[in-house]
């Protein structure tokens, strides 16, 4: 089957799944030269197999809200590929969750996990539940009901979920409590746990820190650094907060942050005090980002989800770090970034840039880091949490951080080397796709036709 036939089959098999098709299209195009060089991979239909989840579980989640009303949500777990290790990938609680979103995330996760060098397969899950506006007790009842079903399908050697959008420390706690009670065992079945009960230091910070370590590696490759760079950041959740923290630590200036309502532009840049305010606002008070603008007297704009461009990406800057959600940088936004002098875009979110956007960035010489490489620090540190749980130990902050730094450097170097080997020097997207694909393909080849 050639490239267009594989893509046509993906489209036929997955109608109404635009996000999954988008993620598939990017990888299929990138790995064509690998298939040409290794005809046995094509014969064994390894790519076609990777495009089909090993298992997709969908289940009803019934719970009661504070007013005594019964609520019904839909939960999922996509067990995408276990060739190199147990399924690993986050849980997303957001009203936009569909099989398409979770399959794209699980598919990306296969290659991302392979790049970390830690033996983890790809998976993802979640529910169309919206934690926004829910009380802690409602979130707890939902998490307990969700785990009531998920517990049948996971364990610490088979499938180890973590957090993602809408699933942070609070939710992981409730989910873990339910799993422990149902299974009557204390194991590392989830990552992102609290530090007093099996969690790893630096896991919370890892995705945002890892993103900026990756960007620093890209800049160092060009004898440059993040010091003094003006950075646009979107989102204000887990990834955005720690990306901003690391930008500050390395001497850069982060000037924006957003939530699903709007974005702030603080020309003076974040400092540690302002960041602490944002963290308290988002993590403890669960408020809207507009409050930041009111407090620090900076600009705030509502975001119009129907608009054809996002004004956050139309600000003069050196670097851009989308850390909110998928497809938040489209072709027009990419054009605006180029026009405003942005020279590097590192994806903190998963697939935040559309294919058109990526092409515009690459055509204009922007140093572009795909999420599956640049945001892999989170899952890598989840892998380190799993290792510590298996060993029954916990490492120091310095130990975990130094492992994270070296993993991100390795992902950077491996992606760059693969891009060069396949005639696309400097193209991190193609390099990451090829390096991740090769590792999984070789494992699948060794394991036979299953
Ligand atoms: P959080 O839930 O902590 O934060 C998400 C942020 O993005 C919030 O500010 C949220 O705003 C905003 N957001 C979410 N959906 C939308 C939307 N549809 N439109 C505009 N803004 C939106 O999630 P994370 O920080 O954990 O995840 C952010 C991204 O990073 C996701 O793409 C995730 O898959 C990816 N990622 C996360 C990892 C992790 O370790 N957590 C690892 C690797 C990737 P609001 O407050 O209004 O909801």
- pLDDT, tens digit, 9 for 90 and up, residues 151-175: 999 999 999 999 999 999 999 999 9
> Does residue 387's CB lie within 6 angstroms of at least one atom of ligand 1?
no
For this structure, is 332 an active site residue?
A: no
Q: Measured between alpha carbons, how far is 348 from 377 in angstroms, rounded to an integer?
A: 10
Residue with CA closest to ligand 1 atom 5: 237
Distance 277 CA to ligand 1 centre (A): 18
Distance 430 CA to ligand 1 centre (A): 25
Residue with CA closest to ligand 1 atom 32: 349
First-to-last alpha carbon distance for the chain, in angstroms, is 19
Task: Look up tokens 């974005």; give the residue.
Answer: 263
What pLDDT score was predicted for residue 2?
Answer: 73
Residue with CA closest to ligand 1 atom 35: 349
Q: Measured between alpha carbons, how far is 266 from 301 in angstroms, rounded to an integer?
A: 12
> Does residue 155's CB lie within 6 angstroms of at least one atom of ligand 1?
no
- pLDDT, tens digit, 9 for 90 and up, residues 61-89: 999 999 999 999 999 999 999 999 999 99
- pLDDT, tens digit, 9 for 90 and up, residues 329-369: 999 999 999 999 999 999 999 999 999 999 999 999 999 99
> Does residue 171's CB lie within 6 angstroms of at least one atom of ligand 1?
no
Res. 1: pLDDT tops 70: no
What pLDDT score was predicted for residue 397?
Answer: 98
What pLDDT score was predicted for residue 4?
Answer: 85
What pLDDT score was predicted for residue 195?
Answer: 97
Residue with CA closest to ligand 1 atom 36: 349
Q: Measured between alpha carbons, how far is 92 from 96 in angstroms, rounded to an integer?
A: 10
What pLDDT score was predicted for residue 396?
Answer: 98
Residue with CA closest to ligand 1 atom 3: 237
Q: Provide, rounded to the nearest whole percent, the portion of the chain with pLDDT above 90.
A: 99
- What does the longest C-alpha to C-alpha distance in the chain come to? 62
Candidates 404, 347, 352; CA nearest to 210 is: 404
Q: Taking all residues of the chain, what is their mean pLDDT, rounded to a whole number?
A: 97
Candidates 181, 235, 176; CA nearest to 208 is: 235
Could you tell me the pLDDT band of residue 244, with boundaries at 50, 70 and 90?
Answer: very high
- Give the CA angle between residues 94, 321, 204 to the nearest 5°: 60
What pLDDT score was predicted for residue 360?
Answer: 98
Among residues 88, 103, 112, 124, the one annotated as catalytic is: 124
> Does residue 208's CB lie within 6 angstroms of at least one atom of ligand 1?
no
- pLDDT, tens digit, 9 for 90 and up, residues 6-22: 999 999 999 999 999 99
Q: Measured between alpha carbons, how far is 298 from 309 in angstroms, rounded to an integer?
A: 21
Residue ranges of domains in the chain, CATH in brackets: 3-186 (3.40.50.10860), 206-365 (3.40.50.720)
Average pLDDT of the segment spanning 115-125: 98
> Does residue 377's CB lie within 6 angstroms of at least one atom of ligand 1?
no
Sheet holding 262-265, edge to edge: 256-258, 262-265, 299-302
Query: What are the angstrom distances between the C-alpha of 36 and each of 40, 59, 115, 221, 446?
Result: 9, 40, 22, 30, 19
Q: What is the pTM of this model?
A: 0.97
Sheet holding 70-81, edge to edge: 55-64, 70-81, 121-127, 87-93, 159-162
Pocket test for ligand 1, best of 93, 112, 133, 164 (most atoms within 8 A of CB): 164
Distance 425 CA to ligand 1 centre (A): 31
> Does residue 238's CB lie within 6 angstroms of at least one atom of ligand 1?
yes
Distance 134 CA to ligand 1 centre (A): 18
Cβ atoms within 10 Å, residue 305:
7
Query: What are the angstrom distances between the C-alpha of 399 and each of 20, 165, 200, 202, 402?
Result: 37, 27, 11, 10, 5
> Does residue 81's CB lie within 6 angstroms of at least one atom of ligand 1?
no
Residue pair 337/230 in contact (Cβ under 8 Å)? The answer is no
> Does residue 322's CB lie within 6 angstroms of at least one atom of ligand 1?
no
- pLDDT, tens digit, 9 for 90 and up, residues 134-151: 999 999 999 999 999 999
Query: What are the angstrom distances between the C-alpha of 121 and each of 26, 201, 237?
Result: 20, 23, 26
What pLDDT score was predicted for residue 103?
Answer: 98
What pLDDT score was predicted for residue 241?
Answer: 98
Could you tell me the pLDDT band of residue 3, with boundaries at 50, 70 and 90?
Answer: confident
Look up residue 41 and give its two tokens: 């991979």
Residues whose CB is less than 8 angstroms from the CB of residue 224 and which lie 6 or more positions away in sequence, other chains included: none
Q: Measured between alpha carbons, how far is 249 from 16 in angstroms, rounded to an integer?
A: 43
């Amino acid at each position: 089957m050639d490239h267009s036939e594989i893509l046509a089959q993906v489209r036929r098999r997955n109608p109404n799944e635009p996000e999954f098709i988008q993620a598939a299209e990017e990888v299929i195009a990138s790995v064509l030269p690998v298939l040409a060089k290794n005809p046995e991979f094509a014969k064994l239909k390894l790519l076609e197999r990777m495009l089909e989840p090993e298992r997709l579980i969908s289940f009803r989640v019934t719970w009661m809200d504070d007013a005594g009303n019964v609520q019904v949500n839909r939960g999922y777990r996509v067990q995408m590929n276990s060739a190199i290790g147990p399924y690993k990938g986050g849980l997303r609680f957001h009203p936009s969750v569909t099989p398409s979103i979770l399959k794209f995330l699980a598919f990306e996760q296969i290659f991302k996990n392979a790049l970390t060098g830690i033996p983890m397969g790809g998976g993802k899950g979640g529910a169309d539940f919206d934690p926004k506006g829910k009380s802690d007790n409602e979130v707890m009842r939902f998490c307990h009901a969700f785990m009531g079903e998920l517990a049948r399908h996971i364990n610490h050697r088979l499938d180890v979920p973590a957090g993602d959008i809408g699933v942070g420390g609070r939710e992981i706690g409730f989910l873990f409590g339910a799993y422990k009670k149902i299974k009557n065992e204390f194991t590392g079945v989830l990552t992102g746990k609290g530090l007093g009960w099996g969690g790893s230091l630096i896991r919370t910070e890892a995705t945002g820190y890892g993103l900026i370590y990756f960007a620093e590696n890209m800049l160092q490759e060009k004898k440059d650094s993040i010091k003094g760079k003006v950075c646009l950041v979107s989102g204000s959740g887990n990834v955005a907060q720690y990306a901003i923290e690391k930008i500050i630590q390395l001497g850069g200036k982060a000037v924006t942050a957003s939530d699903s309502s709007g974005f702030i532009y603080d020309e003076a840049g974040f400092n540690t005090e302002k960041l602490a305010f944002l963290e308290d606002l988002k993590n403890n008070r669960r408020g809207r980002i507009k409050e930041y603008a009111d407090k620090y007297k900076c600009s705030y704009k509502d975001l119009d989800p129907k608009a054809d461009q996002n004004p956050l990406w139309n600000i003069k800057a050196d670097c851009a770090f989308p850390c909110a959600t998928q497809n938040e940088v489209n072709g027009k936004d990419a054009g605006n970034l180029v026009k405003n002098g942005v020279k590097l875009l590192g994806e903190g979110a998963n697939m935040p840039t559309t294919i058109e956007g990526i092409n515009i960035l690459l055509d204009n010489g922007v140093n572009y880091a795909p999420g599956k490489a640049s945001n892999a620090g989170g899952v890598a540190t989840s892998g380190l949490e799993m290792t510590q749980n298996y060993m029954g130990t916990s490492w120091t902050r310095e130990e975990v951080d130094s492992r994270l730094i070296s993993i991100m450097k390795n992902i950077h170097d491996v992606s760059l080397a693969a891009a060069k080997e396949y005639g696309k020097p400097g193209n991190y997207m193609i390099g990451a796709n090829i390096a991740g694909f090769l590792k999984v393909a070789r494992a699948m080849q060794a394991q036979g036709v299953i």
